[in-house]
Amino acid sequence: VEIYGPESSGKTTVALHAVAEVQKRGGTAAYIDAENALDPVYATHLGVNIDDLLLSQPDTGEQGLQITDALV
């Protein structure tokens, strides 16, 4: 799922809620943090298990797409 929108519109919060729900149901979630801005404390507060999260913080957009392709 790609989530986009203006700054401070809640994109990260929506994404992290989705991640938490996937984990809660026993699934595996991947989070590609293109801005290298994930706050693990906030994510944990929303119910994300950081230890079980597949987290990638790519250096470039191309690298992010390659990671996405590999995950799919």
- Tell me the C-alpha distance between 65 and 49, whole Å: 24
- Tell me the C-alpha distance between 2 and 44, whole Å: 21
Q: What is the pLDDT of residues 21-61, one digit of tens each?
A: 999 999 999 999 988 999 999 999 999 999 999 999 999 99
What are the boundaries of each domain within the chain?
11-71
pTM score: 0.85
In the structure encoding, which two tokens stand for residue 17, read together? 């809620």
- Tell me the C-alpha distance between 56 and 67, whole Å: 8
pLDDT at site 54 = 96
- Tell me the C-alpha distance between 15 and 20, whole Å: 9
Q: How far is CA 50 from the centre of its chain?
A: 10
3: pLDDT strictly greater than 90: no
